[in-house]
A and B are shown apart, each in its own frame.
Chain A
Amino acid sequence: MSAWETVIGLEIHAQLATRSKIFSGAATAYGAAPNTQACLVDLGYPGVLPVLNAEAVRMAVRFGLAIGARIARQSVFARKNYFYPDLPKGYQISQYELPIVAAGSIDIVLEDGSVKRIGVTRAHLEEDAGKSLHEGLGALTGIDLNRAGTPLIEIVSEPEMRSAKEAVAYMKKVHTLVRYLEICDGNMQEGSFRCDANVSVRPLGSDQFGTRAEIKNINSFRYVEKAIQYEVARQIELIESGGKVIQETRLYDPDRGETRSMRSKEEANDYRYFPDPDLLPLELDEADIEAIRAGLPELPDAKASRFVSQYGLSAYDAGVLTASRDLADYYEAVVHAVPQQPKLAANWVMGDLAAVLNKEGLEIGSGRLPAERLAGLLVRIADQTLSGKLAKEVFESMWSSGQSADAVIEAKGLKQITDTSAIEQAIEAVMAKNPAQLAEYRGGKDKLFGFFVGQVMKATQGKANPAQLNDLLKKKLSG
């Protein structure tokens, strides 16, 4: 049995978050009643003409600049011709030979922590198609053209990923990027962000590409991973059993966890691309591009390095905290309130807060626990009002009641005891109650120290400041 290398390239379709469609004034909002957001242009009525949405262009340029790509000074819209009921004009307006974004790259972090650069061949603007509806219509098929004409940017990678995990890391990175840039809502369930994966295998060490299969329309990170894994295994098994991979389009069936053939290359459409005569070539000058560049936000990679240098975080933590702009902004708002405690803030944001959000299926931006409020808790930890254990209790209360840390501490009387004499009194009472243990300890049984800590904590309902308690207890016990 020989060793195989996997070769993966992704084509990601991200719906651009414009309010209106790419070539018409109809709204793009998701979830409206069928065909209520399709105007005559979207319906492909006789005589109508497309007019390019400038905002979609701006968004595509933002993406191009963010991946360090060359922005085409002139790009051309082309017609991709094929018949399908959800494609009203009988052609899709896309970009073919001259896309708006050419040759950029995206860095991903591999499992071993190393960074790999994935080339982006191109990114182009195009319009989405409508949808066919099969449910609740009996033997009929319904057509909903609300999505027809929604702007998309198709991001085509080089075939430079070598495992399903790399593919997922790349897809996640693009997902992070488009949301940072505020050009796509990233909603994968609604289909705002989806991908096609080109997968092939070749003997390790070969410099020839194997025959690839294209897995269409995968709309979750998990499915991308599973679909690719399945496809790689299928291809290897096929080749090793003497078969040949054929170039074809396949669909991933998440219920069965397998890919299935949709159509072979021979059955594929000849799309007869040609420049759309209804649209002039799109011209961008230096000033247009620079104006867009000036409006770019701090990007995830730059933000992560800043978090490392400014807050002393590990590269891993910085990576986690910059995975979304909302998360990074939240973290920075917390740090702003407790500037001396960036690591404590990171731990809480990535730990307890992430856990409850995850449990309740909420986003960081949900507003359930505003950054200032979490910061209020951290202030009380930093000034030793709360021990770590108490802090967790306060946090839970804050989460469920929506109160501030101070209000919870006040109401529950959870304030840590830092008064030396009060702690001493408690220690003395415990010592008095446990003479036998005291004698043993003093006789050299150091392990009993923990017993005394536990007893004092119990007596103070856990409120004794642990550090102070340690010091005082040591002093007292040693007589």
Chain B
Amino acid sequence: MIHRQTLSQLAAALRARKVSSVELVRTYLARIEASQPALNAFVSITAEHALAAAEAADRALAAGRGGPLEGVPIGHKDLFCTAGVRTTCGSRMLENFVSPYDATVVTRLRAAGAVMLGKLNMDEFAMGSSNETSHFGPVRNPWNTALVPGGSSGGSAAAVAARLLPAATATDTGGSIRQPAAFCGITGIKPTYGRVSRYGMIAFASSLDQGGVLAASAEDAAWLLREMAGFDPRDSTSVDAPVPDYPAGLDAPLAGMKIGLLKEFFDTGLDPQYERCVREALAVFERLGATLCEVSLPNISLSVPVYYVVAPAECSSNLARYDGVRFGHRCADARDLQDLYKRSRSEGFGAEVKRRIMTGTYVLSAGYYDAYYLKAQRARRLISAEFARAFGEVDLLMGPTTPTVAFALGAKTADPITMYLNDIYTIGANLAGLPAMSIPCGFAAGLPAGLQIIGPHFAEQRLLQAAHRYQLETDWHVRLPEQYA
């Protein structure tokens, strides 16, 4: 069963010529096609491109050449620009937008030999926690199609959970990798801000956006991240620091590692069954030689309000370029310039995007800037400082990824605030720019629960190591939804 193999196993099998890339691509394409009516994980399926790339990969492998991921199928969240293949950002605004260039992440993964099978569905412009804001329809959770997969990287998460792909790229601005990873029972890592280039990754909130990975295991995530990470001169916020060989460090023991439990994450609103899964996972870490202690971040409760000032502020400016002039949706028969702007944007953007543009415009306006934007920035620094203090005492912080398991489609769409509160545990890492993961840690009421692991800046290696050691002891990450097993 090809689809039950991990990405690292597939890479090895390809190199050993036990399987061809064309074979893999055909297998996964078939799974994708079959799943599409139920899951809607893909916006674009690029079968022809993929088969051509797979043939080229097979030739390279036959000649003993090729990168570490040569011939391995992957998919990209549909906000990574791909030359020649449309990049929609889940929006009507970019429904027909074909980028003339590749995102750095796309270029790097292709250089490593990965073969793209398609572009993955997402919340519109990555704004959402349930994948219900996509112009291309909601993605459904492979564990139960009445439920959301989480968002905004819902397509990437559903595709990996149903093994329509061994792994996929994703992005995380306030939890958009970790929350869907938790809801879909897979492994996701949001690296340190600046670790992965944002060039060609369509911006939602520039100071928070970070590209990362959704995969079946920490080991697979390590394989992919090694190829994606690294300095990019085209992104001034990318950090010029060497990229460790993540897979090589996975097996190091955890003995002596200090793990802090995020006190506030257990205090309120956490589903009791979910909490039991998390506590059991923590016990596993203890058995592995780590020591646990409680850590308090008194201002972490400010995360959601701070986020919903900073992110909309940046988005209101980032999305100003969609004006109907050079690319993207343009209204028909514009009477004049104002009409062109108003109708192109009114028609091109969905309700949640508009809500955030308006919020962001408001908080940056004269007379409100100090009260909202500046105050939020101060609170953000406060939260960062609390994390920094915590990492003076512990090596990693752990807690639940979300307060509950996946919820039903439509359950939270009427009330944006309850939807926003779903990201209450994940936003802190974005505000502080910290690397964070979610790994499957059991089932609450039959649905996957996620353990969140947060580390200090550039501690991806440590996160992956802890996650990998845990996954050697547990099998939550290899369990698949029945229909996709």
Q: B179-206 toward A: CB 8 Å interface, digit per residue (1/0)?
A: 0000000000000000000111111011
Q: A74-90 toward B: CB 8 Å interface, digit per residue (1/0)?
A: 00000101010100111
Q: A127 to chain B: closest CB distance in Å?
A: 14
CA distance A382 to B87 in the complex (A): 77
Contact A83 B100 (CB under 8 A): no
* Interface bracket on A: 20 to 34
Contact B321 A272 (CB under 8 A): no
CA distance A380 to B326 in the complex (A): 66
Which has the most chain B C-beta neighbours within 10 Å: A46, A272, A279? A46
Set of chain B residues within 8 Å of A79, measured between Cβ atoms: 317
Q: A88-B321, A90-B321, A280-B237 are in contact. Are A43 and B326 (CB under 8 A)?
A: yes
Interface residue? B443 (CB, 8 A): no
CA distance A48 to B314 in the complex (A): 15
Interface residue? A274 (CB, 8 A): yes
Interface residue? B233 (CB, 8 A): yes
Those of A135-191 within 8 Å (CB) of chain B: 143
Q: A283 to chain B: closest CB distance in Å?
A: 12
Interface residue? B107 (CB, 8 A): no
Residue in contact with A274 in the complex, picked from B201, B202, B364, CB distance below 8 Å = B364
Contact A90 B323 (CB under 8 A): yes
CA distance A273 to B235 in the complex (A): 22
* Count of A-B residue pairs with CB < 8 Å: 99
CA distance A280 to B238 in the complex (A): 10
Interface residue? B13 (CB, 8 A): no
Contact A49 B317 (CB under 8 A): no
CA distance A458 to B321 in the complex (A): 80
Interface residue? A262 (CB, 8 A): no
Contact A45 B366 (CB under 8 A): no
Set of chain A residues within 8 Å of B203, measured between Cβ atoms: 46-47, 278
Interface residue? A399 (CB, 8 A): no
Nearest A-chain residue to B87, judged by Cβ: A46
* Interface bracket on B: 35 or more
Interface residue? A422 (CB, 8 A): no
Set of chain B residues within 8 Å of A207, measured between Cβ atoms: none
Q: B198 to chain A: closest CB distance in Å?
A: 6
Set of chain B residues within 8 Å of A277, measured between Cβ atoms: 205-207, 237, 314
Set of chain B residues within 8 Å of A52, measured between Cβ atoms: 236
Q: A35-63 toward B: CB 8 Å interface, digit per residue (1/0)?
A: 00000100111111111100000000000
Q: A83-B341, A274-B313, A274-B373 are in contact. Are A44 and B235 (CB under 8 A)?
A: no
Interface residue? A91 (CB, 8 A): yes
Those of B88-132 within 8 Å (CB) of chain A: 89, 94, 97, 99-101, 103
Set of chain B residues within 8 Å of A50, measured between Cβ atoms: 236
Interface residue? A419 (CB, 8 A): no
Set of chain A residues within 8 Å of B337, measured between Cβ atoms: 85
Contact A91 B320 (CB under 8 A): yes
Which has the most chain B C-beta neighbours within 10 Å: A52, A79, A277? A277
Residue in contact with A46 in the complex, picked from B207, B236, B321, CB distance below 8 Å = B321
Contact B99 A47 (CB under 8 A): yes
Interface residue? A471 (CB, 8 A): no
Q: A270-B365, A272-B364 are in contact. Are A88 and B317 (CB under 8 A)?
A: no
Q: A91 to chain B: closest CB distance in Å?
A: 5
Residue in contact with A49 in the complex, picked from B198, B314, B373, CB distance below 8 Å = B198
Interface residue? B325 (CB, 8 A): yes
CA distance A81 to B320 in the complex (A): 8
Contact B236 A81 (CB under 8 A): no
Contact A143 B325 (CB under 8 A): yes
Interface residue? B49 (CB, 8 A): no
Which has the most chain B C-beta neighbours within 10 Å: A40, A83, A90? A90
Interface residue? B327 (CB, 8 A): yes
Contact A49 B199 (CB under 8 A): yes
Q: A45-B99, A83-B341 are in contact. Are A90 and B317 (CB under 8 A)?
A: yes
Q: B198-218 toward A: CB 8 Å interface, digit per residue (1/0)?
A: 111111011100000000000
CA distance A93 to B313 in the complex (A): 16
Nearest B-chain residue to A84, judged by Cβ: B337
Interface residue? B234 (CB, 8 A): yes
Contact B198 A45 (CB under 8 A): no
Contact A274 B317 (CB under 8 A): yes
Contact A81 B317 (CB under 8 A): yes
Those of B319-342 within 8 Å (CB) of chain A: 319-321, 323, 325-328, 337, 341
CA distance A43 to B100 in the complex (A): 12
Set of chain B residues within 8 Å of A88, measured between Cβ atoms: 321, 325-326
Contact A51 B99 (CB under 8 A): no
Which has the most chain B C-beta neighbours within 10 Å: A85, A272, A273? A272
CA distance A46 to B89 in the complex (A): 10
Q: A348 to chain B: closest CB distance in Å?
A: 53
Set of chain B residues within 8 Å of A143, measured between Cβ atoms: 325
CA distance A88 to B97 in the complex (A): 16
Q: A90-B323, A274-B364 are in contact. Are A49 and B236 (CB under 8 A)?
A: yes
CA distance A278 to B235 in the complex (A): 8
Interface residue? B225 (CB, 8 A): no
Set of chain B residues within 8 Å of A270, measured between Cβ atoms: 365-366
Set of chain A residues within 8 Å of B201, measured between Cβ atoms: 47
Those of B234-270 within 8 Å (CB) of chain A: 234-237
Set of chain B residues within 8 Å of A81, measured between Cβ atoms: 316-317, 320, 364
Set of chain A residues within 8 Å of B314, measured between Cβ atoms: 277
CA distance A91 to B369 in the complex (A): 17
Nearest A-chain residue to B80, judged by Cβ: A47
CA distance A201 to B199 in the complex (A): 51
Q: A343 to chain B: closest CB distance in Å?
A: 55
Q: B463 to chain A: closest CB distance in Å?
A: 24
Contact A280 B236 (CB under 8 A): yes
Q: A8 to chain B: closest CB distance in Å?
A: 26
Contact B81 A47 (CB under 8 A): yes
Contact B235 A49 (CB under 8 A): yes
Interface residue? B404 (CB, 8 A): no
Contact B369 A90 (CB under 8 A): no
Interface residue? B361 (CB, 8 A): yes
Closest 10 CB pairs of A and B: A90-B320, A272-B364, A277-B207, A277-B206, A47-B200, A44-B321, A46-B202, A47-B81, A47-B202, A270-B366
Residues of B that sit less than 8 Å from A by CB:
79-81, 87, 89, 94, 97, 99-101, 103, 198-203, 205-207, 233-237, 313-314, 316-317, 319-321, 323, 325-328, 337, 341, 361, 364-366, 369, 373
Given contacts A45-B100, A49-B198, A277-B314, list 19 more A-B pairs with CB under 8 A.
A40-B100, A45-B321, A45-B327, A46-B81, A46-B97, A47-B103, A47-B202, A48-B199, A79-B317, A85-B323, A89-B320, A90-B323, A91-B320, A272-B361, A272-B369, A274-B364, A274-B369, A277-B206, A280-B237
